[in-house]
C-alpha cells in the first residue's frame, strides 16, 4: 500500500484485510477528525477510487475473488433462489470520479450456456434498478410494504443472464465526484461511458467474454440502445480481438425520430379520443415539429390546453388503467409542456407514477432501495451520496445537453451490419405511442419479409407483427409504456422469440 494513503490528514493508519469467509474487504480505521465533513469526504473519495482502480494489485486477487467482492449473499426480504447475483461499481472515468452501478442476475438454470443481456431504462435519467429490475424483467417484485421481495414468474433471467445498469452517472446509485457532470450529461457521453463500463465489467467477469450478447431497453433507451450498439460495433471493428460478441438488440416504446415521433404522438392522442378535433387541428397548424427544440406561443398553448384540460387525470403511460392515488403529481408548468412533444424527453419522463396491476409500485421501490440494509447488501451507496436514491434524476432530465434528432441513420447502419433488431410497442402508451414508432420506422423504407399478422401468447392474441429484411416490429396488446409490467406473459413470449431468432408464434 502506498505511503500517501497512510498519511491522510487526521486519519490514523488503516487496517485492510480480505475475509475469505465473507468474501468482502474489512476496512478498519479511526480518526480524531473523522466527523469533519471535509476529511470524511476526502477519505472516502480517495479510498474508493484507489480500491476500485488498484484492488487486484493490492491483494493479488484472482478474477474469481474480484467477483466475490460483488457477490450478493442475500437481499433483505428475499425469497430463496438458486442463481447467483452480483452488484457493485465500475469506475468509467477516474479523473471525474464517475462510477456506474450495476446489478447482475445470472440465469436461473445453466447460466454458462445462456446469453448475456444488458438492460437499460431511459428518462433520460431513470433507473434500470427501479424499473427494469424491480417492475419489469427482473427476478423479483417488491411487496407493498417496501420491505420484502417476491418472485416474478415471468423473469427474463430464465432465458438469459441479465445485467442491469444505472446509467448515466447521477442515476440511482451511480455517481460522479464532479458536480458539473450532472449539468452537462447527454447522449454522446452516456454511450461512451456505457462502452467503458462494459469493457471493464467483462474484465471483472471474463467468463462472459465472447458470450452471445444482446442489449434491451425502453423509452429514451430508444437512443441509449442503438447508440451503444454502434459504439460496440465500431469498437469491435477497430479491435483485433473483440471480446463483446454483440448479436443484436431489442427496444420497447423507444424514442426514435423527433419529427415522426411528434406527429405520431399527436395522432395517437386524437385517434384515442384524448383530445378534441379543435385541439388536434390547433396543434398540427401551430407546431412546426421540423424545427428542432423550437416552439411558438400558440404551439405551447395548444399542447398545454390538451394536457391540462382535455386529458383528464389519467396515467399517460397507460391510458386505460387506474392511476396510483397515494401520490398526486403537480401538473407540469407551461414552459416545459411542449418539450416532451418536440423531443419526447423532458417533464413527462420525470418522476412518474405508473399504472398496471399495481399502479403504486414505484413508491415501493423508493422505500426499499433507500433502506440501509438493502444498500449494504447491494454494496451500493459506498460513498454516501448526499441525496436519496430516486427512480429518476430530475437534475439530469432538466439539463440534458445533446440528443440526436433521429436514430434512423443509426438503425440503417446497424441493419447493414447484420445485427438482430427488434422494435416493440405497448399499444396503450400515449407518451411514446405505437403510432409514433410506426411513423418513424416506415421511413426506413424496409422491404417486407413477412406481412402483418396477429401473434399469440397462450390462446390469446398477444399483439401484431410485421417482419422486414433486417428488422422485426411487434405490438403488445394491452400494454402500456413498461410492456413487461403490464403484460408480463406476452412480453416474455416476445423476448423468448427474439433470443431464438424466430418469428412470433401464429397460434
Residue positions annotated with a catalytic role: 219, 429, 481
**Half-sphere exposure of residue 425: CA atoms within 13 angstroms, side-chain side:** 28
**Half-sphere exposure of residue 400: CA atoms within 13 angstroms, side-chain side:** 30
Please report, for residues 19, 31, 35, 45, 381, the alpha-carbon distance to residue 5 in angstroms, rounded to integers and kept in the order given.
21, 14, 19, 12, 22
Q: How far apart are the first and last CA of the chain?
A: 64
- Burial environment of residue 264 by CB neighbours within 10 A (0 to 12, 13 to 18, 19 or more): buried
Beta-strand runs (E) in 358-488: 420-426, 448-457, 460-468, 471-476
Nearest of 399, 417, 450, 406 to residue 292 by alpha carbon: 406
Whose cell is 431464438? That residue is: 500
Q: How many other C-beta atoms can be found within 10 angstroms of the C-beta atom of residue 164?
A: 27
Distance separating alpha carbons of residues 445 and 170, to the nearest angstrom? 38
- For residue 26, list its beta bridge partners: 17
Distance separating alpha carbons of residues 410 and 323, to the nearest angstrom? 36
Amino acid at each position: 500500500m502506498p505511503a500517501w494513503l497512510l498519511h491522510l490528514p487526521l486519519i490514523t493508519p488503516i487496517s485492510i484485510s480480505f475475509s475469505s469467509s465473507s468474501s468482502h474487504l474489512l476496512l478498519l480505521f479511526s480518526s480524531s477528525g473523522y466527523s469533519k465533513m471535509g476529511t470524511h469526504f476526502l477519505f472516502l473519495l480517495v479510498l474508493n477510487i484507489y480500491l476500485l482502480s488498484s484492488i487486484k494489485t493490492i491483494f493479488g486477487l484472482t478474477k474469481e475473488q474480484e467477483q466475490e467482492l460483488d457477490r450478493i449473499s442475500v437481499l433483505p426480504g428475499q425469497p430463496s433462489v438458486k442463481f447467483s447475483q452480483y452488484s457493485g461499481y465500475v469506475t468509467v472515468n477516474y479523473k471525474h470520479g464517475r462510477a456506474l452501478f450495476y446489478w447482475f442476475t445470472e440465469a436461473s438454470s445453466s447460466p454458462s450456456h445462456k446469453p448475456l443481456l444488458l438492460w437499460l431504462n431511459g428518462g433520460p435519467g431513470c433507473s434500470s434498478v427501479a424499473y427494469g429490475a424491480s417492475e419489469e424483467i427482473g427476478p423479483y417484485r417488491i411487496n407493498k410494504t417496501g420491505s420484502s421481495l417476491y418472485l416474478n414468474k415471468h423473469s427474463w433471467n430464465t432465458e438469459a443472464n441479465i445485467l442491469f445498469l444505472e446509467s448515466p452517472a447521477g442515476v440511482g446509485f451511480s455517481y460522479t465526484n464532479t458536480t458539473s457532470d450532472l449539468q452537462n450529461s447527454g447522449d454522446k457521453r452516456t454511450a461512451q461511458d456505457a462502452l467503458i463500463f462494459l469493457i471493464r465489467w467483462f474484465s471483472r467477469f471474463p467468463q462472459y467474454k465472447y458470450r452471445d450478447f444482446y442489449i434491451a431497453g425502453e423509452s429514451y433507451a430508444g437512443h441509449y440502445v442503438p447508440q451503444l450498439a454502434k459504439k460496440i460495433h465500431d469498437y469491435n471493428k477497430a479491435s483485433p480481438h473483440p471480446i463483446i460478441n454483440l448479436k443484436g438488440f431489442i427496444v420497447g416504446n423507444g424514442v426514435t425520430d423527433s419529427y415522426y415521433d411528434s406527429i405520431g404522438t399527436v395522432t395517437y392522442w386524437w385517434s384515442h379520443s384524448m383530445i378534441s378535433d379543435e385541439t388536434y387541428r390547433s396543434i398540427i397548424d401551430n407546431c412546426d415539429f421540423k424545427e428542432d427544440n423550437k416552439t411558438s406561443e400558440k404551439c405551447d398553448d395548444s399542447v398545454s390546453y390538451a394536457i391540462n384540460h382535455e386529458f383528464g387525470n389519467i396515467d399517460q403511460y397507460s391510458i386505460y388503467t387506474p392511476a396510483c392515488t397515494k401520490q398526486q403529481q403537480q401538473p407540469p408548468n407551461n414552459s416545459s409542456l411542449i418539450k416532451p412533444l418536440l423531443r419526447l424527453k423532458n417533464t413527462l419522463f420525470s418522476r412518474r407514477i405508473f399504472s398496471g396491476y399495481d399502479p403504486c409500485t414505484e413508491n415501493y421501490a423508493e422505500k426499499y432501495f433507500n433502506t440501509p440494509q438493502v444498500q449494504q447488501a447491494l454494496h451500493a451507496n459506498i460513498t454516501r451520496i448526499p441525496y436519496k436514491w430516486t427512480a429518476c434524476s430530475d437534475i439530469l432530465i432538466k439539463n440534458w445537453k445533446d440528443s440526436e434528432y433521429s436514430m434512423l441513420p443509426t438503425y440503417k447502419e446497424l441493419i447493414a451490419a447484420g445485427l438482430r433488431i427488434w422494435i416493440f410497442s405497448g399499444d396503450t402508451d400515449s407518451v411514446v405511442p405505437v403510432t409514433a414508432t410506426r411513423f418513424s420506422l416506415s421511413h426506413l423504407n424496409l422491404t417486407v419479409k413477412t406481412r402483418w399478422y396477429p401473434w399469440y401468447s397462450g390462446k390469446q392474441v398477444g399483439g401484431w407483427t410485421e417482419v422486414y429484411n433486417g428488422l422485426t416490429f411487434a405490438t403488445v396488446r394491452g400494454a402500456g409504456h413498461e410492456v413487461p409490467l403490464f403484460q408480463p406473459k406476452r412480453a416474455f413470449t416476445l423476448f423468448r422469440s427474439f433470443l431464438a431468432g424466430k418469428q412470433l408464434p401464429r397460434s
